[in-house]
Amino acid sequence: MTATGTPPEIWALAADGETILLRRPRPDDEGLILAMHHGMSAENLHLRFFGISDISVRETAKRVGTPDRPGCGALLALTHDEKTVIGVAEYNAEDMPDEAELALAVADAWHGRGVGTLLIEHLIAMARADGIRTLLADTLPWNRPMLRVIEDMGLPGRNRLVSGVVNCAIDLDTDDVSTERYLTAMAVREAHADVAALVPLFTPRSIAVAGAGHRADSVGRALLRNLKAAHYTGSVVALHPTETEVDGVPAYATPSLLPVVPDLVVVAVPASAVPDLVEECGRAGVRALLVVTSGLTPEQRLRVRTSCRRHGMRMVGPNCLGIAQTDPATALNATFGWVVPAPGSAGVAVQSGGVGIALMEQLNRLGIGVSTFASLGDKYDVSGNDMLQWWQADARTTMAILHLESFGNPRKFSRIARTVGRTKPVLTVDAGRSAAGRRAAGSHTAAAVTPTVARGALFRQAGVTATHTLGDLVAVAALLHAQPLPDGAAVAVIGNAGGAGVLAADACVDAGLVVPRFGADLEGELRALLPAGAACANPVDTTATVDGETLRRCVDRVLAAGHVDAVVLALAPTALGDPLGDLLTGPAVRERPVVVVAPERAAAVELLPAVGGAVPVYCDARTAAVALAHAHERAMWLTRPRGTVPPLVDVDRAGVRSLVAEFLARESEGGWLPPKACARILAAYGITVTPWRQAFDAEEAVAMGRELAPLGAERAVVLKACGPEIVHKSDVGGVRLRLVGDDAVRAAFADLAHRIGALMESVVVQPMAHSGVELIAGVTQDEVLGPLVVFGLGGVATDVLGDHGARLTPLTDLDAHALLAGSRGAPLLYGHRGARPTDTAGIENILHRLSRLADDVPQLVEADLNPLIARPDGVTVVDARIRLAPRTGHDPYLRRLR
């Protein structure tokens, strides 16, 4: 890692999916840089240098090749074999220390392939870390590509035409609104490039299978059989050291001998042979790999990864079941499982093959089928995020199902999921894996999240439908596939046996739905329709004697009355007939969802065909209710106003970056920041902590106390024991409040020193704050979804109070408001029993600033303001801590391959 935090080598995708390398120049790159410029057309050179002079070219090559000049930075783009420089971007500080001149040149053959944009995105990250606030670029007015690159960046700026040259100024020190726009523009480019790069994997024109040996029961042979059985539309060959034919397929000894270079090579050879084979594939020009082999050593793993990058190959696996693409134009089943994915509309990505088989089997059975399947295994390269991007662009996919045990880049996942979820449901199982991790964390904020914040709420905020079990996931998928979304939570339960209806109504209420009483009108209508003895409130008991036709009319009446958003039919077969069978002779889909609970059926969920579609039938009322509740949540998410991330003034991002770099240079493992650094970081983001001083002996404490709480004011001060080992000061009896007068301070110091002993290195002296409502506000990280802002009732009893809400960053105005309004302390905040309301705007402002800090500083793993004391006249933070970790040195949103 270099001083400014950019890793030395970044693999990334050009717009057409080609892998390229970005890195800082080295002194021996001068020749390569010259060669690129010498290969540029006269026109291209003119646009870059406003003239064609070999002197400027040589100067550039020399300048760029000289690393680490202060206020300057440069980045090269190279082909993935690293032999050719294809782009050079640099910034050079001007007269003003926070302004720099931007220059960009891209080799002719690489124009229009997004290399310039990628270089500038990464250069902007470098320049920002370097304290640059504005990049200036002088461009000829007819240099449309350059002007477009700058415009597409999505950052605010100004263009001025001065003596025939456009002076562009790009503002890097942006507010949140522009940051959002910039990140969105970057994410769109990423999705395009990603999809282009996955084409050879998921729609290959030709495949070679390596590892299909003599044994008919080998994984390779099973794979080959599945490929052939699915009638793959491209050509298939085998790689075999000695044979010329394997299972009826022509075989060749090495990739270089293949008559046609395959798009995809399936690797099922023993682990020890994988690295060499992967390298040979790369040399031969193969574009994608599926590695099913497991048990690679770390050394083999590194070689495989390196070969993939250096030859620009994308890879699924290793240690996986395979991939499938059911589009008849491709008809690819490169899995070795026994389940054949049926063509359909669910995109499925799993980490473990077993879960994949189970899901495919269920989706086949339900008639939903699979569009693209990927078992990602150890995910050296292609990840769940890549799959989401693929499905978003894939017209055949109408829902995305992800079952992953780990996520590589949570911040990206929650952004991508939020985008994909707008058009297609994203389903996953929330195994609550990170609970233990959070328990182990040190701060109140982190510990608070586990017991009291349902993770479901976080997934919901990200637009992800997260169920507790795989079974529930399948149940929801069936409903979303076959029925419309319910607009609200009101459900009518209609049963032909009283007991089943009551059970179904209870299950709906347990799942968070409501079963409202119908109005008198509707009850009257139903009474006219149903036999005597029927119960016509909600739940409706039709009695066992009704036929399917009457049931159907009953459903239609209930829906037409408009009191409910969904209907649950609890049906039991009777001696008189089969009401479910009758029902299915009618329409499957109405304007609102209808589901059936039929306890006598064997399958947990079925999609039974009716006219124009299918009706979901569940054997257990709980499953049906849970599915409806999830569908309702999705409908609410889609229609809920998204709110805006308010712009913040007084944010010194560059200042914080250097403070963070300074701390991590000293503490390579990271840790809790000392009080001073913590206060400085918060101050840089506009959060002020109550004045405080550090004192090392009693007399110093007395002097500080006098300074902070001068005579005349309410003189009370506070002493707090301080030392790197002391995380929660009250827990060790390390906080002494309301100390009035020098003697009291002296005595308190002696008492703390005596009781706490060597753990105490100093004391913090603060004025005593006026009393108010004690709150907690903080930041913690979710392994799957990224940073969260946490809020609730605080103080030393915060864990006991257990009142904590959390929202994903970036926090919108509506999120902040919901955190306050949803808190159990809300009555205290908004005014209670004649008490004046507290400064809620001030509290929300602090939450927004924490959100921004968490997003700007990926090294921040926890922040904990506890308590902040809220009063009508303002908010005071009396205790704050921040923990940093080195693990994410680079900007998590930058486009890069792993």
User: Does 866 sit near ligand ADP (CB under 6 A)?
Assistant: yes
Please classify residue 838 by burial: count the beta carbons closer than 10 Å to its beta carbon, then call 0-12 exposed, 13-18 middle and 19+ buried: buried
The verdict on 862 binding ligand ADP (CB under 6 A) reads no
Would you call 132 helix, strand, or coil by DSSP? coil
Closest to Mg ion by CB, 203 vs 694, is 694
730 binds, among Mg ion, ligand ADP, none (CB under 5 to 8 A by kind): ligand ADP
Q: Is 878 in the site for ligand ADP (CB under 6 A)?
A: yes
Among 615, 867, 877, 896, which residue interacts with ligand ADP (rule: CB under 6 A)? 867
Separation in Å, CA 386 to CA 311, 348, 650, 888: 19, 12, 37, 20
Closest CA to 545 of 505, 572, 526, 525: 572
Interface with Mg ion: number of residues (CB under 5 A): 2
* Shortest reach from residue 845's CB to ligand ADP, in Å: 20
Single out the residue of 375, 467, 766, 781 in contact with ligand ADP (rule: CB under 6 A). 766
- Residue 9 corresponds to which tokens in the numbers above? 């080598």
**Contacted entry of ligand ADP, Mg ion, none for residue 773, CB cut-off 5 to 8 Å set by kind:** none
AA letter at 893: Y
Query: Which of 367-375, 425-433, 551-559, 768-776 is the region at the interface with ligand ADP (rule: CB under 6 A)?
Result: 768-776
The amino acid that residue 553 corresponds to is R
Choose which of 266, 879, 883, 896 interacts with ligand ADP (CB under 6 A).
879
Give the x/- contact pattern for ligand ADP in 489-528, rule: CB under 6 A: ----------------------------------------
Q: For 287-301, give the DSSP string.
A: -EEEE------HHHH
Instruction: Tell the burial category of 163 from Cβ atoms under 10 Å away from its Cβ (0-12, 13-18, 19+).
Output: exposed
Binding status of residue 552 toward ligand ADP by CB under 6 A: no
Residue whose Cβ sits closest to Mg ion: 879
Question: What number of H helices and E strands is found in the chain?
Answer: 29, 39
Of 401, 413, 290, 425, the residue nearest 350 (C-alpha): 401
Q: How many residues does the chain have?
A: 898
Q: Is 862 one of the binding residues for Mg ion (CB under 5 A)?
A: no
Kindly tell me which residue out of 795, 805, 810, 825 binds ligand ADP, with binding defined by CB under 6 A. 795
CB atoms inside a 10 Å sphere around CB 434: 18
Whole-number Å distance between alpha carbons of 229 and 232 = 8
Stretch of residues binding ligand ADP (CB under 6 A), selected from 90-98, 395-403, 435-443, 724-732: 724-732
Interface stretch with ligand ADP, choices 127-135, 208-216, 647-655, 762-770 (CB under 6 A)? 762-770
At residue 292, φ and ψ (nearest 5 deg) are -90, -20
Closest separation in Å from C-beta 701 to ligand ADP: 14
Nearest CB to ligand ADP, comparing residues 399 and 869: 869
Q: Which two tokens stand for residue 656?
A: 């914080």
Judged by CB under 6 A, the stretch of 19-27, 462-470, 722-730, 840-848 that binds ligand ADP is: 722-730
Alpha-carbon gap, residue 513 to 507, rounded angstroms: 9
Paired tokens of 509: 């209420």
Alpha helices by DSSP H, listed for 453-514, are: 455-461, 470-482, 498-510
Q: Three-state DSSP class for 513?
A: coil
> Which position among 263, 381, 606, 879 is part of the footprint of Mg ion (CB under 5 A)?
879
Alpha carbon distance 669, 597 (integer Å): 55
Span interacting with ligand ADP, options 541-549, 635-643, 698-706, 723-731, rule CB under 6 A = 723-731
Binding flag, residue 311, ligand ADP (CB under 6 A): no
Binding status of residue 796 toward ligand ADP by CB under 6 A:
yes
Residue 774 interacts with which of ligand ADP, Mg ion, none, CB < 5 to 8 Å by class: ligand ADP
Query: Which one of the spans 287-295, 518-526, 776-784, 866-874 is the region binding Mg ion (CB under 5 A)?
Result: 866-874
Residue 317 CB contacts under 8 Å (≥ 6 apart), including other chains:
267, 289, 290, 291, 292, 293, 375, 376, 377, 378, 380
Least Å distance, CB 435 to ligand ADP, is 23
Q: How far is residue 470's CA from residue 466's CA, in Å, rounded to a whole number?
A: 10
Applying CB under 5 A, does 866 fall inside the site for Mg ion?
Answer: yes
For residues 674 and 307, what is the distance between their CA atoms, to the nearest angstrom?
Answer: 44
**In the complex with ligand ADP, which residue's Cβ is closer, 737 or 835?**
737
Q: How far is the CB of 779 from ligand ADP (least distance, A)?
A: 16
| 690 binds ligand ADP, rule: CB under 6 A | yes
With CB under 6 A as the contact rule, the residue among 109, 603, 737, 750 that binds ligand ADP is 737
Q: Can residue 766 be called a binding residue for Mg ion (CB under 5 A)?
A: no
Q: Residue 524: CA atoms inside 13 Å, Cβ hemisphere, count?
A: 3
Q: Which is nearer to ligand ADP, 319 or 766 (CB)?
A: 766
Which residues lie below 8 Å from residue 697, measured CB to CB, with a gap of 6+? 749
User: How many CB atoms within 10 Å of residue 134?
Assistant: 18
Q: How far is the CB of 658 from Mg ion (least distance, A)?
A: 27
Residue whose CB is less far from ligand ADP, 851 or 866: 866
- Contact segment (CB under 5 A) with Mg ion among 111-119, 422-430, 780-788, 862-870 equals 862-870
| Residue 782 sits in the site that holds Mg ion (CB under 5 A) | no
Distances (CA, A) of 754 to 590, 628, 748, 759, 764: 76, 61, 10, 11, 16
> Contact, 200 vs 264, CB < 8 A?
yes
The one-character DSSP state at 266 is: E
Q: Which is nearer to Mg ion, 443 or 465 (CB)?
A: 443
SS3 219: helix
- Minimum CB–partner distance for residue 820 and Mg ion (Å): 20
3-class DSSP state of 445: helix
Contact residues toward ligand ADP (CB under 6 A) are 690, 718, 720, 728-730, 735, 737, 766, 768-769, 774, 795-796, 866-867, 878-879
Contact residues toward Mg ion (CB under 5 A) are 866, 879
